[in-house]
């Protein structure tokens, strides 16, 4: 007997980590994915075609490149030329005049999932911004998420974000209090602000080879038979806290990329390392590194320098570069531990993600970053190398998403 597939809309979808985890269970049907950045949209559209058997026309329809802050237009349609950033070649009159409601059609929406951009809530972001991110518009993107929930009235929603959400206070008011009040007004129950720290999970206990603390806010419609405790318990049953995956599990079988005796220039590209020997593994090429960088990487790993004091790290950076800093600049992965949190800053440089094999003298590749986020090896990222690192660092780890999805459909099945 075929089991029911539950429908969802994914907001702030990025390159599709959350959607991928839900779709992998075989128990969900995606109605729409909304994202604002074109490379992420292109990546997700490609994935729907290559892996999830959507036609190109269907993928163009389902993955919407649109500014979610224009929420009414997104939901109801009547999109003005100023509102449409890009909608590819798909020009269905139904979609253009009816918005997300037109895309969903007569389908009931069971869940809305997503994670608004987290930079405004992140502790690192607040520490490096002169106004502690108080003036950042991203503090309030949860309001757009809330409006879409209100429009479709799903029984459950999933809102993923960084641990810094628990301490962020834009305008002097805790954001967790703002979020609680916003969802209460539209008839949804979430953990109250004092209880919300209970919803902080480390992705490493959900078969992700990476320490990645994230807040998972589950919401239930007030007339639902569900209890929040039941849903969280169902998700927690999918965890394996005593069997954590390691960096070796994630990237240990990828082809090594060793430094060349001398850099090679090929057109506009300069290479410092040999090419990947396995053509079946894509996006696995080393960044070009200068000799000084490679020497630092080798020394760092050989001397296990992750464990020196913070002041020693600062002094080391000054000794090697002549530049002053208040922050740690180098960190290596360690084979037999989960990675530290993969971040979008990888698009700038990889100094905080030095490969654990000192002989390779390099930072991690796009494919290695993706493996640490548990993206399947056939998942293709579209865009420049910088953009690919950014979208991976901003994604939800696929195995984490998969565990959430399993926990929720098992809870949903019990109620049917």
pLDDT per residue, tens digit, the chain (416 aa), is 678 899 999 999 999 999 999 999 999 999 999 998 999 999 999 999 999 999 999 999 899 988 888 888 889 886 555 545 444 434 333 445 678 998 999 999 999 999 887 554 444 543 443 444 444 444 468 899 999 999 999 999 999 999 999 988 877 889 999 999 999 999 999 999 999 999 999 999 999 999 999 999 999 999 999 999 999 999 999 999 999 999 999 999 999 999 999 999 988 889 999 999 999 999 999 999 999 999 999 999 999 999 999 999 999 999 999 999 999 999 999 999 999 999 999 999 999 999 999 999 999 999 999 999 999 999 999 999 999 999 999 999 999 999 999 999 999 998 86
| Residue 169 pLDDT | 84
DSSP 341-373: PP-GGGGT--TTSB-S-TTT-SBPPHHHHHHHT
| Residue 329 pLDDT | 96
Tokens of 161: 């974000």
> pTM of the prediction?
0.92
d(CA 323, CA 296): 15
d(CA 141, CA 116): 6
Residues 226 and 415 sit within 8 Å (Cβ to Cβ): yes
d(CA 17, CA 1): 29
Question: Which long-range contacts does 301-305 make (Cβ < 8 Å, 24+ apart)?
Answer: 301/332, 301/354, 301/355, 301/356, 301/357, 301/358, 302/358, 305/330, 305/332
Tokens of 178: 């703002």
| Residue 131 pLDDT | 46
Where on the phi/psi map is residue 385: left (φ > 0), alpha (ψ -120 to 50), or beta?
Answer: alpha
Does domain 6-245+395-415 fall into CATH 3.40.50.1580?
A: no
Where on the phi/psi map is residue 394: left (φ > 0), alpha (ψ -120 to 50), or beta?
Answer: alpha
| Residue 149 pLDDT | 97
d(CA 351, CA 300): 11
Residues 6 or more apart in contact with residue 106 via CB below 8 angstroms: none
Residue ranges of the chain that CATH labels 3.40.50.150: 6-245+395-415
Q: Which of 36, 21, 30 is nearest to 141 (CA)?
A: 36
| Residue 116 pLDDT | 85
Give per-residue burial for 114-145: e unless 16+ CB within 10 Å, then b.
bbbbbbbbbeebbeeeeeebeebeebbbbebb
Q: How far apart are the first and last CA of the chain?
A: 14
d(CA 329, CA 326): 9
Residue 399, classed as helix, strand or coil, is helix
Tokens of 154: 């799903």
């Amino acid at each position: 007997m075929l089991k029911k597939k539950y429908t969802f809309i994914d907001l702030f979808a990025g390159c599709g980590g959350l959607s991928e985890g839900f779709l992998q269970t075989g128990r969900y049907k995606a109605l729409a994915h909304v994202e604002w950045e074109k490379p992420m949209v292109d990546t997700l559209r490609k994935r729907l075609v290559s892996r999830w058997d959507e036609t190109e026309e269907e993928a163009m329809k389902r993955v919407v490149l649109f500014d979610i802050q224009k929420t009414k237009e997104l939901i109801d349609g009547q999109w003005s030329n100023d509102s449409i950033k890009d909608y590819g070649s798909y020009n269905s009159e139904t979609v253009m005049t009816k918005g997300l409601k037109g895309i969903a059609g007569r389908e009931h929406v069971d869940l809305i999932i997503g994670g608004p951009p987290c930079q405004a809530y992140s502790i690192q972001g607040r520490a490096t911004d002169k106004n502690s991110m108080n003036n950042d518009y991203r503090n309030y993107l949860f309001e757009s998420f809330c409006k879409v929930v209100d429009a479709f009235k799903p029984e459950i929603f999933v809102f993923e974000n960084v641990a810094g959400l628990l301490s962020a206070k834009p305008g002097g008011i805790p954001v967790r209090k703002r979020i609680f009040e916003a969802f209460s007004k539209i008839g949804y129950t979430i953990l109250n602000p004092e209880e919300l720290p209970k919803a902080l999970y480390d992705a490493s206990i959900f078969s992700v080879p990476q320490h990645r603390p994230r807040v998972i806010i589950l919401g239930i419609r007030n007339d639902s038979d569900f209890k929040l405790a039941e849903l969280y318990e169902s998700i927690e049953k999918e965890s394996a806290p005593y069997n954590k995956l390691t960096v070796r599990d994630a990237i240990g079988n990828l082809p090594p990329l060793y430094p060349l005796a001398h850099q090679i220039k090929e057109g506009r590209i300069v290479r410092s390392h040999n090419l990947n020997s396995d053509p079946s593994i894509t996006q696995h090429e080393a960044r070009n590194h200068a000799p000084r960088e490679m020497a630092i990487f080798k020394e760092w790993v050989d001397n296990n320098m992750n464990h020196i004091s913070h002041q020693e790290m600062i002094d080391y950076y000054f000794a090697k570069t002549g530049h002053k800093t208040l922050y740690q600049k180098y960190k290596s992965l360690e084979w037999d531990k989960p990675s530290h949190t993969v971040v979008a800053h990888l698009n700038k440089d990889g100094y905080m993600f030095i490969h654990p094999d000192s002989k390779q003298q390099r930072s991690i590749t796009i494919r290695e970053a993706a493996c640490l986020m548990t993206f399947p090896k056939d998942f293709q990222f579209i865009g420049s190398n910088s953009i690919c690192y950014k979208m991976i660092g901003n994604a939800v780890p696929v195995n984490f998403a998969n565990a959430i999805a399993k926990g929720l459909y098992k809870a949903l099945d019990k109620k049917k």
